[in-house]
């Protein structure tokens, strides 16, 4: 099936097998290797991208089902040579080691910063809370990091959230 996506601002038309995930489409067909395959079942967050501005798991999205969507991958976060503030903060806070979960962490954080409303740890559900470290930890728990860089990830995101 032929589908068209806006990927990092550019229209991309691809003929895809309906079985192909958005993740495999990005990696194997469009040469965008930023989104990572960690589990292929929505259990690790390494494949997180922004679909129509919201963070989502590209491994659980069929390419055909996102036809017509805007997709932003980690390759599309920076503004030319100028890193996204999250990217710069991740480097400065040493918020990664092996780097494999990092694109997903970054896309997830970028999406998360634009998500209002409470989380599971918000005391008063009627209030949109400040992004305290506790709130960030809960909201970023869909992105596993086996190297254990969480402490630094949270400090990097906190700096940008301020």
Partner 1 sequence: MNRIEGRVKVTGLATYAAEYPVEDVTYAFPVQSQIAKGRVRHVDAQDALAMPGVLAVLSGEDPPPLASGADGELALFQSREVAYRGQIVAAVVADTYENARAAAAVVRVDYDSDDHDVSLRADHPGLYKPDHVNPAYPTDSEKGDIEAGLAEAATVVDVVYETPVLHNNPMEPHAALACWDDEGGLLVYDTAQGTTLSRDTLAQVFGLPKERVRVVSRHVGGGFGSKGTTRPQAVLAAMAARVVGRPVKIVLTRQQMFDVTGYRTPTIQRLRLGADAQGRLTALEHVAYEQTSTLEEFAEQTATPTRIMYATPALRTAHRLVRLDVATPSWMRAPGECPGMYALESAMDELAYALGMDPVELRVVNEPETEPDSGLPFSSRNLVGCLREGARRFGWEHRDPTPGVRRDGEWLIGTGVAASTYPARRRPSKARAVVEDDGDFLVQVAAADIGTGARTALTRIAAEALGVAPERVHVELGDSDLPEAPVAGGSMGTASWGSAIVRACEELKSDGKEGLADTTEEVRGDAAFSRHAFGAQFVEVRVSSVTGEVRVPRLLGVFAAGRIVDPKLARSQFIGGMTMGMGMGLMEETLTDEEFGGFLRRDLAQYHVPACADVPDVEAVWLDERDAELNPMASKGIGEIGIVGTAAAIGNAVYHATGHRVRELPITPDKILMPRF
Partner 2 sequence: MKPFDYTRADSAAQAVREYAPGTMYLGGGTNLVDLMRLGVAEPERLVDVSRLPLDTIESVRDRVRVGAAVRNTDLAVDPMIRARYPMLARAVLTGASGQVRNVATVAGNLLQRTRCAYFQDVTRPCNKRRPGSGCPAIAGDHTNLAILGSSEACVATHPSDMAVALAALEAEVHVTGPGGDRIIPMPGLHRLPGEEPERDTVLEPGDLITAVELPPPPAGATVYRKVRERASFAFALVSIAAVLDVGDDGVVAGCRIALGGVAHAPWRAERAEQALIGGPATGEAFLRAAEAELEQARPLPRNAYKVPLTRNLIVSTLEGLAS
Long-range pairs, 61-65, Cβ under 8 A, ≥24: 61/21, 61/22, 61/23, 62/18, 62/19, 62/20, 62/21, 62/22, 63/3, 63/14, 63/16, 63/18, 63/20, 63/21, 63/22, 63/24, 63/25, 64/1, 64/3, 64/16, 64/18, 64/20
Q: Which does 126 bind (CB under 5 to 8 A by kind): partner 2, partner 1, none?
A: partner 2
Rounded Cα–Cα distance for residues 70 and 45 (Å): 19
Q: Which does 115 bind (CB under 5 to 8 A by kind): partner 1, partner 2, none?
A: partner 2
User: In this complex, which beta carbon is closest to partner 2, that of residue 34 or of residue 111?
Assistant: 111
**The only residue of 60, 64, 85, 97 in contact with partner 1, by rule CB under 8 A:** 97
Q: Which does 114 bind (CB under 5 to 8 A by kind): partner 2, partner 1, none?
A: none
Q: Which does 48 bind (CB under 5 to 8 A by kind): partner 2, partner 1, none?
A: partner 2
**The only residue of 50, 66, 103, 161 in contact with partner 1, by rule CB under 8 A:** 103
Pick the closest to residue 43 from 143, 152, 116 (CA basis).
Answer: 143
Instruction: Confirm or reject binding of residue 9 to partner 1 (CB under 8 A).
Output: no
Residues of the shown chain interacting with partner 1 in the complex, contacts defined by CB under 8 A: 17, 19-20, 24, 27-28, 31-41, 43-44, 46, 73-75, 77-78, 83, 87, 90-92, 94, 96-103, 106, 121, 133-134, 136-138, 140-154
């Amino acid at each position: 099936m032929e589908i068209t996506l806006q990927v990092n601002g550019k229209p991309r038309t691809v003929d895809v097998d309906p079985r192909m995930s958005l993740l495999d489409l990005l990696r194997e067909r469009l040469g965008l290797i930023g989104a990572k395959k960690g589990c292929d079942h929505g259990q690790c967050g390494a494949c997180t991208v922004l679909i129509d501005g919201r963070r989502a798991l590209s491994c659980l999205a069929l390419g055909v089902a996102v036809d017509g969507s805007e997709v932003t991958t980690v390759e599309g976060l920076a503004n030319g040579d100028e890193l996204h503030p999250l990217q710069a903060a991740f480097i400065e806070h040493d918020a990664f080691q092996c780097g494999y979960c990092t694109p997903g962490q970054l896309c997830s954080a970028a999406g998360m910063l634009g998500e209002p409303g409470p989380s599971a740890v918000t005391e008063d559900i009627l209030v949109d809370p400040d992004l305290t470290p506790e709130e960030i930890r809960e909201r970023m728990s869909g992105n596993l990091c086996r190297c254990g860089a969480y402490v630094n990830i949270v400090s990097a995101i906190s700096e940008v959230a301020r």
